[in-house]
């Protein structure tokens, strides 16, 4: 029951925020309260969880004739992702304190509804409900970009919607095909996992599923929507997009691909790794050429998510652990960078690397934050990204050392774009007569929390790995250790 409450809470919170949106900050505090309440509820669930992998499991038959039932379950992986979503929710509200003036009620409502839908994705184990939340996620995200974005925001929002909605059909089609194959039609992922399908059928099903996941994961050639969506979205929008929405793709692949189609994934895994490696390299190289800071970070997200894909496709223990950690680490680094660049944009109204610079002399806090998260971007040891990417590369070495070399080259490219971002923003001479206010408390505390998280996971990954261990074991496909 608690799990359904976890989904309804942000939904209802959004509704309340929408209706009481008078002048003043009421709806912002309601949003923050909702997300805080969610975190408390999550902690309560995890604390009171029985032994074993699942912290909580609930199942209500909804349409028995078609075998559709509301079954939600939460384990280590989904718990941490939900915690991040709620945390990023609070951070995005704080980040858009001064930025959003018009219709802020609707803004905070769509923030809450996006998080509600993503939590639905993280919890649901019924394929139809999963597909429902998968599509439901797009609507509030679309409004976030379309209404409060910059520049050609409608175009970017439309592109985002078309890409993801069309890909969602792949998921839906595969889900229905899979459900109908069961002797009695059922959408429950656990029952479907028991079905013995031939490898070729599994591969086709996997392609259907992974179409949706790859587009949401924005692995090149499916990444075209991400740069515009992230660049033209408001700060809160890009934080949520990078921190939460990208993770639903990774989560789906991590959870359902090995569970439903083990042989399929094993057969496809070399191509998956190759795609991931090529994508990471492509994302990195394109990022090197960008002049707009936010676009650069958007392309780095593409590179990092391709690395996650490589980890999952490799299927060995190290790689999966690496992918899981990389997912979470990327949430912190990407959203922090978007927050900082957004704050910078609010002050200087430009994101062009060639015009910015010299933060070191005039805004030390900015410079410090950028330095830390740029180092996280290039996976400096000691940051969580390093743990993720190192484990992925080690895992891939076990599978195939050629791809591992390719993966390593992505790390090299990551140095190029990370240092370019750092040089563009922090070093060099500040523009002569441009006084820049340093980070105020609203922006400083979220960045502090996220940098602490990155460093703690970076220096002591055991804390996170223990949490994710059951999920990783369940996702093991290849016979390798």
**Residues contributing to the site for other proteins (CB under 8 A):** 220-221, 223-224, 227, 282, 285-286, 288-290, 299, 317-318, 321, 354, 416, 423, 428-429, 461-462, 465-466, 469
Sign for the CA dihedral angle at 259, 265, 269, 275 comes to negative
Nearest to other proteins of 70, 391 (CB atom): 391
**Least Å from the CB of residue 285 to other proteins:** 4
Sign for the CA dihedral angle at 19, 23, 27, 29 comes to negative
Nearest to other proteins of 270, 428 (CB atom): 428
**Least Å from the CB of residue 33 to other proteins:** 37
Give the residue from 136, 152, 170, 372 showing the smallest Cα distance to 256: 170
**Least Å from the CB of residue 397 to other proteins:** 11
* Distance, CA of 21 to CA of 431 (rounded, Å): 39
Tokens of 439: 């980070």
Nearest to other proteins of 87, 279 (CB atom): 279
Burial class of residue 184 (count of CB atoms within 10 Å of its CB; 0-12, 13-18, 19+): exposed
Tokens of 367: 């410079």
Residue with tokens 């959408």: 187
Report yes or no: 263 and 199 within 8 Å, Cβ to Cβ.
Answer: yes
Nearest to other proteins of 158, 207 (CB atom): 158
Report yes or no: 208 and 170 within 8 Å, Cβ to Cβ.
Answer: yes
Report yes or no: 75 and 68 within 8 Å, Cβ to Cβ.
Answer: no
**Least Å from the CB of residue 171 to other proteins:** 20
**Least Å from the CB of residue 299 to other proteins:** 8
**Least Å from the CB of residue 381 to other proteins:** 14
**CA–CA distances in Å: residue 409 to residues 24, 145, 279, 309, 401:** 51, 34, 12, 16, 12
Nearest to other proteins of 258, 461 (CB atom): 461
Nearest to other proteins of 215, 376 (CB atom): 215
**Least Å from the CB of residue 133 to other proteins:** 26
**Least Å from the CB of residue 42 to other proteins:** 24
Nearest to other proteins of 219, 343 (CB atom): 219
**Least Å from the CB of residue 224 to other proteins:** 4
Nearest to other proteins of 429, 433 (CB atom): 429
* Distance, CA of 118 to CA of 63 (rounded, Å): 23
49's CB contacts (< 8 A; 6+ apart) are 55, 56
**Least Å from the CB of residue 79 to other proteins:** 18
- Number of H helices and E strands in the chain, helices first, is 21, 2
* Distance, CA of 107 to CA of 172 (rounded, Å): 29
Strands 56-63 and 68-74, by their bridges, are antiparallel
**Least Å from the CB of residue 375 to other proteins:** 18
Nearest to other proteins of 101, 354 (CB atom): 354
Chain centroid to CA 273: how far?
20
Nearest to other proteins of 349, 354 (CB atom): 354
Does a cis peptide bond (omega within 30 degrees of 0) precede residue 221? Answer: yes
**CA–CA distances in Å: residue 262 to residues 173, 201, 389, 470:** 19, 12, 23, 17
End-to-end Cα distance, the chain: 37
Q: 203-242: b or e for each residue (b if 16 or more CB lie within 10 Å)?
A: bbbbebbbbbbbbbbbbbebbebbbbbbbbbbbbbbbbbb
Q: What angle do CA 158, 161, 163 make, to 5 degrees?
A: 105
Nearest to other proteins of 119, 457 (CB atom): 457
**Least Å from the CB of residue 167 to other proteins:** 13
Nearest to other proteins of 81, 226 (CB atom): 226
């Amino acid at each position: 029951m608690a799990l359904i409450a976890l989904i309804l809470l942000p939904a209802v919170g959004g509704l309340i925020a929408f209706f009481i949106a008078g002048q003043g900050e009421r709806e912002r505090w309601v949003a923050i309260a909702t997300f805080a309440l969610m975190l408390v509820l999550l902690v309560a669930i995890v604390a009171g969880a029985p032994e074993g992998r699942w912290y909580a499991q609930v199942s209500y038959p909804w349409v028995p004739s078609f075998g559709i039932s509301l079954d939600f379950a939460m384990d280590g992986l989904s718990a941490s992702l939900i915690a991040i979503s709620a945390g990023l929710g609070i951070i995005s509200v704080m980040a858009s304190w001064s930025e959003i003036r018009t219709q802020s009620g609707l803004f905070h409502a769509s923030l809450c509804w996006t998080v509600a839908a993503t939590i639905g994705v993280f919890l649901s184990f019924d394929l139809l409900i999963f597909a429902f939340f998968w599509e439901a996620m797009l609507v509030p995200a679309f409004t976030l970009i379309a209404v409060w974005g910059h520049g050609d925001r409608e175009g970017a929002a439309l592109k985002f919607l078309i890409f993801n909605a069309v890909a969602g059909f792949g998921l839906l089609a595969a889900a229905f095909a899979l459900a109908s194959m069961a002797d009695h039609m059922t959408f429950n992922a656990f029952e479907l996992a028991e079905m013995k399908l031939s490898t070729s059928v599994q591969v086709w099903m996997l392609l259907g599923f992974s179409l949706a996941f790859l587009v949401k994961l924005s692995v090149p050639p499916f990444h075209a929507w991400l740069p515009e969506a992230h660049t033209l979205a408001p700060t809160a929008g890009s934080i949520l997009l990078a921190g939460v929405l990208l993770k639903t793709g990774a989560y789906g692949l991590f959870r359902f691909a090995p569970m439903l189609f083990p042989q399929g994934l094993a057969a496809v895994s070399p191509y998956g790794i190759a795609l991931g490696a090529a994508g990471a390299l492509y994302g990195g190289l394109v990022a090197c050429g960008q002049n707009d800071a936010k676009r650069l970070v958007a392309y780095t997200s593409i590179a990092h998510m391709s690395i996650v894909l490589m980890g999952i496709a490799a299927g060995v223990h190290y790689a999966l652990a690496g992918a899981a950690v990389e997912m979470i680490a990327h949430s912190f680094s990407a959203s922090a960078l978007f927050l900082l660049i957004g704050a910078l944009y609010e002050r200087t109204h430009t994101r062009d690397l060639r015009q910015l610079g010299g933060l070191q002399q005039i805004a030390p806090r900015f410079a410090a934050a950028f330095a830390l998260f740029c180092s996280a971007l290039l996976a400096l040891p000691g940051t969580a990204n390093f743990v993720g990417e190192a484990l992925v590369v080690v895992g891939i070495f076990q599978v195939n050392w050629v791809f591992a070399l390719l993966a390593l080259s992505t790390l090299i490219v990551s140095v190029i774009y990370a240092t370019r971002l750092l040089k563009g923003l922090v070093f060099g001479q500040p523009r002569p007569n441009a006084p820049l206010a340093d980070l105020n408390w609203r922006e400083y505390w979220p960045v502090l929390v996220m940098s602490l998280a990155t460093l703690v996971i970076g220096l002591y990954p055991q804390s996170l790995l223990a949490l994710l261990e059951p999920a990783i074991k369940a996702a093991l496909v290849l016979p390798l250790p």
